[in-house]
A = this chain, B = another copy of it.
Amino acid sequence: MQILDGKKISAEMKAEIAAEVNSIKSSGGKIPHLAAILVGNDPPSETYVAGKIKSCAEVGIRSTLVRHDTSVREEVLLKTIKDMNDDDDIDGFIVQLPLPAHISEEKIIEAVDPGKDVDGFHPVNIGRMVLGMPSFVSATPAGIMELIKRYDIPTSGKSCVVVGRSNIVGRPVSNLMSLKAYPGNATVTLAHSQTKNLPELIRNSDIIIAALGKPEFITADMVKDGAVVIDVGITRVKSEVTKSGWKLTGDVKFDEVAPKCSFITPVPGGVGLMTVVSLLKNTLIAAKRKQAH
């Protein structure tokens, strides 16, 4: 059994990105620049955005944060997006979700220039990804694919179950894993709340990608020997062991499942750590594409 070490791989990737940014700088190129728009003061959103900005600094990517009040009108937010679309110095930008209820997330996402949509949320990027064309892939699916690739895990012809059909994880990763590419070429089943015989379906799969958000849902009896298990779930549950009284728990009952696996991601320390670095990588790609034009 091998642990898919998100900490190690994300550190490796950060070092690679930092080296590339450095070489751009030393050859006199423009420093890659990520901007973020944050509406309101939702504590988790504050934490996520702060993490992204800190990670930019670590690899030498310039970052800008633009804040709007929770009461911001949609037109004002759209104007900020338009300004970022038009700003030649900004290579990519994100609008931190969720947004207040009076603003249409769909409208906001579709207003972002697809070439600067480093979150990969714009339908044109989703469509290009599904068609196997170059695109920005959103952070979690991109992080999963990168982990599989860096550990050289065979995927072609393997049966793969993706549990959970969210637009930002389950659905994109199910499409990616079935593309004619590596990682990919797997026979993918997308399972969800309406799926019958889920334990049996999981038990018959070579690769299990769990993104349903139910702590420790997947138990040892549902996993076949030698399976690859990617755990995307991160739920905060009460704990009597930790000082804070809380711990982060995945969708997989790690202690009993891990011994059966060929590869497994821990939670925390697995997929979660891959997401921010995937955003940094998309920003670097966006910057390099713009230079090439």
Judged by a CB distance under 8 angstroms, whether A175 is at the interface is yes
Interface membership of A167, Cβ < 8 A:
yes
A3 contacts partner chain B, Cβ-Cβ < 8 Å? no
- Are B178 and A187 within 8 A (Cβ)? no
**Bound complex: CA A126 to CA B187 (Å):** 21
> Given known contacts A127-B125, A130-B175, A167-B131, is B196 in contact with A192 (CB within 8 Å)?
no
Q: A127-B125, A131-B126 are in contact. Are A187 and B180 (CB under 8 A)?
A: no
Contacts of A127 in B (CB 8 A): 122-128, 130
Residues of B within 8 A of A167 (CB): 130-132
Which A146-196 residues sit within 8 Å CB-CB of chain B? 156-157, 159, 165, 167, 171, 175, 178, 180, 185-192, 194-196
In the bound complex, CA of A187 to CA of B156 (Å)? 21
Interface size on A, residues (CB 8 A): 33
- Of all chain B residues, the one with the shortest Cβ separation from A186 is B194
A181: min CB distance to chain B, Å: 11
| A98-154 contacts to B (CB < 8 Å) | 106, 122-128, 130-133
- Give the oligomeric copy count: 2
User: Which of B132, B159, B180, B194 contacts A156 (CB under 8 A)?
Assistant: B194
Q: Is the CB of A130 within 8 A of B130?
A: yes
- A201 at the B interface (CB under 8 A): yes
Q: Counting chain B CB atoms within 10 Å of each CB, which of A106, A133, A167, A188 scores highest? A: A188
Given the known A-B contacts A123-B133, A126-B131, A130-B171, are A178 and B157 also in contact in the complex, defined by CB atoms under 8 Å? no
Are A194 and B187 interface neighbours, CB within 8 A?
A: yes
Given contacts A126-B127, A126-B130, contact A188 B187 (CB under 8 A): no
A157 partner, pick from B156, B187, B195, beta carbons under 8 A: B195
A173 to nearest B CB, angstroms? Answer: 12
Q: Distance (Å) between the CB of A161 and the closest chain B CB?
A: 9
With A127-B122, A165-B180 as given contacts, are A187 and B187 in contact (CB-CB < 8 Å)? no
Residues of B within 8 A of A195 (CB): 157, 187
Output the least CB separation between A99 and chain B (Å).
Answer: 16
- A178/B156 contact (C-beta < 8 A), A122-B127, A128-B123, A131-B126 known: no
- Of the listed residues A122, A131, A171, A196, the one surrounded by the most CB atoms of chain B closer than 10 A to its CB is A131
Residues of A at under 8 Å CB distance from B? 106, 122-128, 130-133, 156-157, 159, 165, 167, 171, 175, 178, 180, 185-192, 194-196, 201
25 pairs from A and B in contact (CB 8 Å cutoff): A106-B133, A123-B123, A123-B125, A123-B127, A123-B130, A123-B131, A124-B127, A125-B127, A130-B130, A130-B167, A156-B194, A157-B194, A159-B196, A165-B178, A165-B180, A171-B175, A171-B178, A175-B175, A180-B192, A185-B192, A186-B194, A187-B190, A187-B191, A187-B192, A187-B194
